Every structure is written in structure tokens, then in C-alpha cells.
Amino acid sequence: MTDLIIAQAFNGLVLGMIYVLLAMGLSIVWGMMDIINFAHGLFFAIGAYLAFTVASWSGSFLVCLLAVPLATALIGMLLEVTLLRRLYGQNILYQILMTYGIAIAGRELIIMIYGPVGKSFDQPELLTGVIPIAGIFFPIYRVFVFGLTALLTFGMWFVIEKTRWGSIIRAGTENLKMVSCLGINISRVFTLTFGVAMAIAGLSGVLAAPMRGIEPFMGDLILGICFATVVIGGMGSFAGAVAGGLIVGLSQSMVTLVMPSASVIIIFMVMAAILLIRPRGLMGIRD
Amino acid sequence: MPTCTEPAWLNRWWLSHRLLILLAGLFAVFPFVLPYTALANEIMLFALAAVAFDLCLGYGGVMMFCQASFFGVAVYATALTLLHLTSNLFAAIAMGVLAASLLALVVGFLATQRSGSYSVLLTLAFAEMIYFIAFQWSGLTGGDNGLTGIKRPNLEIPGLFSVSLQSSLAYYFFSFVFFIAAFYTIRRITLSPFGKVLMAVRENEQRAQAIGYDTRRYKMAVFVIGGFFMGLAGSLYCMYICFAHIHYVHFEVSGNIVMMVLTGGMGTLFGPVIGAFIIVLASDVASALWDRWMLIMGAMFVFFVLFARGGLWGLFEKLMRVRLRNR
């Protein structure tokens, strides 16, 4: 029984790390550019589908891991330059509506290209199988995902806390006007930030694909969960995204053990509870 | 000496109500000119939901993404009342509206604790929660299969009179009465002192606070009023379609209602009716022609946000102004 709980907790941790990556991007974009990006889930789906294409074409998962985030970053930056840029500083309503429109159109495009039926995505051969640790068997692929996402999260933390670009992001989340008064080219920072957020979203799509398969509506489902994660962690907070993602992933996998049907509802219940106790989220820095 | 022979009050009444009368006239002929009555009914009920949301967004400046929750919860409440409690028409409507209003009160209370984008996100998260609850609690809601076997009650007071609503035309005109009454009420709300305060909150919340208004309570009131009328739309819809399904609490319904308000023109009340007409008709026609018509819908969102924020009503007004100037 304890073995089962530990194994399931590990699954939750891996799932949680995927949420962490997604919530991080959502939260940075939201905090800095004040855009609730409804197309975030779309980029998760695009990542998974591109991985499907690239994998069947090159046969290598490593190529997916490198090429797909680059592609989603480029698509994201293109969107930012052509569409989103026109809406900065305006009523948030318009940004919501536009990104929502993009999300719908993108999903339909995916269905047009790949068809409405989901596809299965084989685990990369090198990473199949299990490794026993202290008598419990862990799937190698999940261990790999956990390691990679942890590394990436650490990398993001380092970038945000220790580099110049990171300090611009943090300052921009606090007070955007002041940052641009200091002579920093905000629009270039925005493009880059959006690109990085979309790269991470695409990468989490790649990583999630072998675990859950791919289908056109995967972005819609994950988007709701990510919003809840950001609300739990608090907007614009890096630590909040990490805490929120892990809480969501763990509570989801633990509830699956007891009552599988409630595994998604629990996320929103946790969210509601945290909101009642602490309305700004666990580590939110502002409203 | 004015040459006008009609009394002044009649003239004034006509001037302030002509658009409403035009609207009533249009909807009175819709079932006869549209290909089938059901389509007219669908347009009317979604127009009601869209107008209710326009009150929230266009006048109160309250953005939300849980319209489908209010609408859908009313659908479920009405269906469950008819299935398990009573076959009384008005009781069913009352239960639907009550459920939606109560939900709106709770969501409004929580969402207005925050402002701006955070508040919008909260409404969205609650909408997701409602969806998954409805999905999982299949003992109550029928889950993905929905609730079937709902019988549309007749309009009757036992012992006094009874009118059959079984034909779709009869039911259309029954909901027509509700639609016009609701539209009139919403319009009166926007013209009332309360409505003026709402617009003040929309324009500048801090300033409204400085004058001494408790803006949060006004925003909560907007939620409840909006929820009430969206619930009414949901209730009537449930009895029109005699079916309750998980789809009605899905986010897509919210998106459609937002789209109706955006294409029609927010803050105009009449615009969203046009928007509902176009969206419902377009999705009916387009979905028959092309499976992926939602692609056009998404592109339309982007187009209207970039180039036509006032919606069609705004374009129409601009056109009229140009014509008046050239005259």
C-alpha cells in the first residue's frame, strides 16, 4: 500500500512539474504584459502535435525536445508582433477575446491538419522500462521528465533572479511604466518574454505527449487547470507557480487513489479553499 | 401653434420606445420568415442571454467568463424540477432563475474580491469547476448523456384556464413575452439612477469610490442581475429543447455569448440582439456546410477586436452620423 502511495505521489509530482512549466509561462505573461493568455493551452497542444510530426519524421525524441520549443517560440513571437502588440495598455477584455479567438482558430487548424481523432505517442525507446529505487519501480520516462523539468525550473529561477533580463521582467511586473522610463525597450522584452513562455508551453506539450497521448482538445482541458494553478500560486510569482503546480499535481494524483472521478474537481476545490483563506493566492504579489 | 395633433405624451412615449417596438415587431415575424421556428426560438433566447451579459459588460464594466454556468445551471435546475418535483411551468422557471441567481451571488462575491484580470480569471475558474462537477455528478445531471424525458408543461392555472404550449410556435410566443419584458426591464435598469452609478463604476472605479459608492456591492449586484436574466434564458431554453446537457455549462457557450455582444456592439443592448441573430444563424448555416466553421468564428473574434470594437451597431451608428453630417 505504501508502495502504491509513493508511486502515485511520484506520478503526481511529474504531472505537477508539467503544470509548473505551464503556469510559469502563463504567470510571467500575465504579470508582466497583463495578458490572460487563453492561447496558452493551444501552444501546449501545438507542442505535442509538432512533436508527433517531428518524431515520425526524424525518429528521434531528442530532436523533438530541441526543435519543437524553438518552433512554438517562433510562432508565439510572430503572434505577439502581428496581433497582441496592438492591444497593450488597453482594456483586458480585448486581449482576452483576441487570445480566445486565436485559441479556437488554432484548435480548428489542428483538427484540419491532423484530424479530430486523438493519436497515441510512443515513448522514446531509450527511455522505456522501469528502474527500481528502494524496491519501488519507477518508469524511466517519468524520472527523465521529472529531472528535465526540475532542471528547467531551476534554470528559469536562475534567469529570473540572477540575470539582467530577469530583473527587467521582475521590475516590469511591479511597475511597467517605470521600466520603460529607464530607457529599456519594452516591446522587445515583451516579444522575447512571450517567445520564451511559448517555448516552455511547447516543451511541456512534448513532454506530456508520451504520457497522455495527443488529441485536439488537450489544450482546452489543460488551460482551465493552469488558470486554477496560477490562482492558487498567486499571479506574477515564480515561487507561486511552482508551489501551485506541485499542489495541483499531487492533490490530483492522491485523490485519484481514493476517488478517481473527483480528480479534476479537487483542483478547483483546492483553489476555492485557498481563495477563501488567502484571496491573492499563496504567494501573489499584487491584485 | 404646433401642427402636431397627437398628445405630447404619446409622442414622447413613441420616441423613447420606438426601438423596443421595432424589436418586438421583428421578433413577432421571425418564426414566419426564418426556415423553422426552432431557429427563431434559439435566436431569441440567446439574444436574452446576450443582452443580460451586455448589461454586465457594457454598462457595469464587469467582465466574466461564467455565462454558461448561469445559463446551464438554470437549464439543469429547470430540468430537474420538471423531472422530479412538479410539472408547474412557473415553478420550473422560478427554480431555474433562483439557482442561477444564487450561483451568481456566490461567484460574484468571490470574483469581486479581486479586480481586473484576476477577477475575470476567477469567474473562469469557477466556470470550469461547475463544468467538471456537472460532468462527474452524473447521478444528478446525467453526465455526458444529459437529462432526457423532460415534458414541456402547459400554461395553466388549474380550474381557470389552460393553454397548450406543445407546438413550437405557441412556446415561441410564450417565451416572446418573457423576452420583451426582460429586455424592457434591463433597458429600464440602464436608464435608472442605479444604471448611472454602474456606468460611473465602469468609467472610473476609484472616482466612484471617492464619491462614496461601495463599488464592490454594485459589481456584485451586476453579477446577480446578469445571472438572473441569463438564468431566465436558460430556463426557457430548457423547456424549449426539452433536454439538459453538459454542453450548456461548457465554456464554449460563454464564448458564444461574449461573441454575440462583441459583434453586436457592447453597451448598446440592441446590438447584442443583432449579434445573437448573426451568430446563431451563422453557426446553424455554417455548421451544416463545413465542420470546421469554428475556425471562422475564431478569426471573427480577432477581426472584431482589431477593427470593429463598436460591433455592428457601432458601425451602423457611425454610418448614420456620417449621413446626417452630409445632409
Which of A102, A228, A268 shows the shortest C-beta gap to B298?
Answer: A102
Cell triple for A144:
527523465
Measured between beta carbons, which residues in chain A are less than 8 angstroms from residue B298? 100-108
Which grid coordinates are listed for B33? 420568415
Average pLDDT in chain A: 86
pLDDT given at position B4: 57
% of residues, chain B, pLDDT over 70: 98
Q: What pLDDT is attached to residue A138?
A: 81
pLDDT digits (tens, 9 = 90+) for A97-140: 899 899 999 999 999 998 888 888 877 777 777 777 777 778 88
A142 CB contacts (<8 Å, ≥6 apart)? Answer: A10, A11, A14, A211
Instruction: List CB contacts of B109: < 8 A, sequence separation 6 or more.
Output: B220
Record the cell numbers describing residue A158, joined without a space.
536562475
Lowest mean per-residue pLDDT among A67-76, A271-280, B302-311: A271-280
Identify the H or E element spanning A280. Answer: none
Contact at CB, B298 and A101, closer than 8 angstroms: yes
Q: What is the pLDDT of residue B19?
A: 81
pLDDT of residue B3: 56
Element (H, E) at A212: helix A186-212
pLDDT, tens digit, 9 for 90 and up, residues A199-229: 999 999 999 988 888 888 888 888 888 888 9
3-state secondary structure of A35: coil
Q: How far apart are CA B222 and CA B194, in angstroms?
A: 10
pLDDT score of A50 = 92
**What is the end-to-end Cα distance of chain A in Å, rounded?**
43
Contacts A–B by Cβ distance under 8 A: 117
Q: pLDDT at position A131, please? A: 78
**Phi and psi angles of residue B214, each rounded to the nearest 5 degrees, phi first:** -80, 90
Q: Determine how many CB atoms are found less than 10 A away from the CB of residue B213.
A: 16
Q: Which grid coordinates belong to B35?
A: 426556415
Please state the pTM of the whole predicted model: 0.86
Cβ burial, residue A213 (10 Å; 0-12/13-18/19+): middle
Comparing B219 with B36, the larger pLDDT belongs to B219
> Which of B118, B255, B306 is closest, CB to CB, to A100?
B255
For residue A197, what pLDDT is reported? 93
Selected residue of A42, A220, A229, A265 to mutate for chain B interface (largest B Cβ count, 10 A): A265
Is the model's pLDDT at B327 over the cut of 70? no
- Could you tell me what percent of chain B has a pLDDT over 90? 35
The model's pLDDT over A36-71, given as tens digits with 9 standing for 90+, comes to: 889 999 999 999 999 999 888 887 888 888 999 999
Looking at CA atoms only, how far is residue B290 from chain A in angstroms? 11
Mean pLDDT of A4-27: 89
